[in-house]
Amino acid sequence: MYYLSHQFHGKRCAFYPRFAGLPEVTLGLLSEEPLTLLPVELQQKIRIHQELQSVYEAEALANAVQKIVQETGIVHRIIGAVEQLQVPIAEVRELLGIEGMKVETAMNFRDKARMKNLLRAAGLPCARHRMVSSLAEAKLFAQEFGFPFIVKPPDGAGSKSTFKVRNPFTLEQALRSLNVSTAQPVLLEEFIIGAEHSFDTFSLNGKPVFHSLTHYIKSFGGDARILDSMASGVAKEEVDSAQYDDIRRYAFQTLEVLGMQTGFSHLEWFRRKDGSIAISEVAARPPGAQFPTLISRANDFNALDAWANLMVFGQFDPPERKYAAGAAYLRGQGQGKQVVAIQGLDHLEQEIGHLVTDVKLPQIGQEASPSYEGEGYIIIRHPETEVVKQALKKIVSVVRVHLG
């Protein structure tokens, strides 16, 4: 019997059907929201559901799981896909003797300052950083390393509550926004200039069994809110090529240092102009922003099904690398709160329609999204990476989503 702890809302709903579809699995759900928010066909596959005030509190999770044990006799797994869940879930595992990642390892991934200390001690290249609890300490960091740099919570996820500070004024603003104090320190991190990438790995019993490389391609328009972001999965002939020998070595060593055993991890890294590498951070959970879809399309398998099978049964069948895949994220332009117009889509279908595998187009009247994905996306694939890159550039050059 296996139980998944998570919330319903947001993009993470895509993870539930993967566990519900596994053979000989009884699925339970702990959530902050009513079961009726899920599709009816998925509700029917969930045997037990408990609604909690917070799924991020280990004590509440443990009490809920203990009730399930009293009713059913045993819980084999407790799993969540959101980064903020990894530590409380690990605490429950340790308390109740459930198999899976334990607290020390979860903290290695969750606490970004602790993570970087471990990596630096192991001789791995990562961004220079420092924990500070006051403006005075932050100013000392600025004097030592200069502007710009990044300010964020040590347990941040993605870009939430993350600031790029360029001068003393924006530094003070960022620290005030994060309520920095001795009880609530923040992480200052070197702003790395270079090509940004991710390295996503499936690990089994402490050994990497499959990995994928992703490039981030970013372009900025005149409007501060415009960010056309493209992420392209690397073609099969490039992923295992010699040009990535260094990041493969560093990434696998990083996972070993942090204690990854079995799971799907997401590592972000930079290649500087001089060719050197800097590891930004790594999360012990599946990537977001349609990356599982990109990995699935590039390798012609379902990455989330593979993750579920890995986590529940400890099995993974490495797929064959076949394609490059890319996602163009369609972000609204302007300062409005709703999508009022979409331009350029008609010109794309004839030119690149045959490359499209997945699409979510913005809708008129749709609320502006604060997420990395923006208001929509278009995913494409082709055996040649360069074809994918050119198609992505075409999309973001002609499609415009206007807010008003």
pTM: 0.88
In Å, what is the CA distance from 171 to each residue of 254, 377, 397?
Answer: 30, 33, 34
Assigned token pair, 86? 């990894």
- Which has the closest alpha carbon to 143: 156, 161, 124, 130? 130
pLDDT at 113: 87
Distance between CA atoms of residues 306 and 394, nearest Å: 32
pLDDT at 26: 87
Backbone angles phi, psi at 284, to 5 degrees: -95, 55
**For the chain, what is the HEC assignment?**
CEEEECCCCCHHHHHHHHHHCCCCCCEEEEECCCHHHCCHHHHCCEEEEEECCCCCCHHHHHHHHHHHHHHHCCCCEEECCCHHHHHHHHHHHHHHCCCCCCHHHHHHHHCHHHHHHHHHHCCCCECCEEEECCHHHHHHHHHHHCCCEEEECCCCCCCCCCEEECCHHHHHHHHHHCCCCCCCCEEEEECCCCEEEEEEEEEECCEEEEEEEEEEEEEECCCCCCEEEEEEECCHHHHCCHHHHHHHHHHHHHHHHHCCCCEEEEEEEEECCCCCEEEEEEECCCCCCCHHHHHHHHHCCCHHHHHHHHHHHCCCCCCCCCCEEEEEEECEECCCCEEEEEECCHHHHHHHHHHEEEEECCCCCCECCCCCCCCEEEEEEECCHHHHHHHHHHHHHHCEEEEC
Distance between CA atoms of residues 73 and 1, nearest Å: 9
- Tally Cβ neighbours within 10 Å of residue 118: 17
Give, for all 404 residues of the chain, the pLDDT tens digit: 566 655 544 444 566 678 888 888 888 889 888 888 888 888 888 888 999 999 899 999 999 999 999 888 889 999 998 889 999 999 999 999 999 999 999 999 999 889 999 999 999 999 888 999 999 999 999 999 899 999 988 876 555 678 989 999 999 999 999 999 999 999 998 888 898 899 999 999 999 999 999 888 765 343 323 333 444 555 566 788 899 999 999 999 999 999 999 999 999 999 999 999 999 999 999 998 889 999 999 999 999 999 999 999 999 999 998 899 999 888 888 888 999 999 988 888 888 999 999 999 999 999 988 777 789 999 999 998 889 988 988 888 888 899 99
pLDDT at 79: 93
In Å, what is the CA distance from 238 to each residue of 8, 118, 251, 322, 324?
Answer: 37, 30, 16, 11, 9
Beta bridge partners of 329: 229, 377
Hey, what CATH class is 195-403 in? alpha beta
Contact 404, 342 (CB under 8 A): no
CATH 1.20.1740.10 fits 128-190, yes or no: no
pLDDT at 396: 83
Domains of the chain: which residue ranges? 2-100, 128-190, 195-403
pLDDT at 253: 98
CATH 3.40.50.20 fits 2-100, yes or no: yes
Backbone angles phi, psi at 63, to 5 degrees: -60, -40
- Which has the closest alpha carbon to 130: 80, 180, 81? 180
